[in-house]
Amino acid sequence: MPKIKLPHKSPHIDMTPMVDLFSLLLIFFVLTATFRPQDPAPVDAPFSVSEKPTPDFNNMTVLLAKDGRIFFNIDNGPDTLLKYRNKILAEMGKQYNVEFTPEELRKFEKMTSSFGVPIEKMKEYLNAKNSKEKDALQTGIPIDSLDNQLASWILYSRQVNSNVQASIKGDGKTEFPVVKKVLDIFGEKNVYRFNLITNLEAIKETEGKTQQ
């Protein structure tokens, strides 16, 4: 019976719709991607029920690692032309007698992750070739009363960008004396309003809390 003879199908599947779909997805992700800056130390932020998102700019963040190291980060401001980071580093250089070349300032401006380098090592840090070298230099920003560089960073950040807000992102297991010290340093510089960065708690649990 020649009629039932099935046509000789090739095993090819038409990939075109799949490609179309993937292209769309890809375009979507490329356009919406905002890169997550990598934290130099693993930090597990505690949970809270707050739903306010972090501001996009005018933000200085102090990162408290579990081991007590302190990192700092500041953004470039709402407009990339403002180059706040650039100016802040230059001011810091003046204060601590470290001369930064325009090349180094540009490198600092481009960085997005927090840094925990004493200012004396900053030059080395900016010129480090790979992340391994960089990590070795991240010993935390000194907060001793003798050498309180965090206070200087806060001071100059606020001088350069008067709208800056203070954020604290800490690991849940950070010892309290470290936190206290940082809060005190902020207090000395007349910063009393903080944003504590937290993760959102699971909805189920918050619901249970409000039910009571």
Residue 22 touches another protein, criterion: CB under 8 A: yes
Q: Helices 84-96 & 149-160, crossing angle to 10 degrees?
A: 140
Hey, what are 23's tokens?
């292209």
CB of 95 or CB of 195, closer to another protein? 195
Residue 57 touches another protein, criterion: CB under 8 A: no
Question: Residue 175 phi/psi, 5° resolution?
Answer: -65, 145
Per CB under 8 A, the segment of 75-83, 121-129, 136-144, 166-174 that binds another protein is: 166-174
* Residue type at 168 in one-letter notation: I
Query: Taking the complex as a whole, how short is the minimal distance between the CB of residue 119 and another protein, in angstroms?
Result: 25
Question: Residue 154 phi/psi, 5° resolution?
Answer: -65, -45
Contact 174, 65 (CB under 8 A): yes
Residue 174 touches another protein, criterion: CB under 8 A: yes
Paired residues of 148 in beta bridges: 143
Query: Taking the complex as a whole, how short is the minimal distance between the CB of residue 156 and another protein, in angstroms?
Result: 21
Binding site for another protein (CB under 8 A): 12, 15-16, 18-19, 22-23, 25-26, 29-30, 32-36, 45-55, 64, 167, 169-180, 183, 187-188, 190, 192-200, 206, 208-210, 212
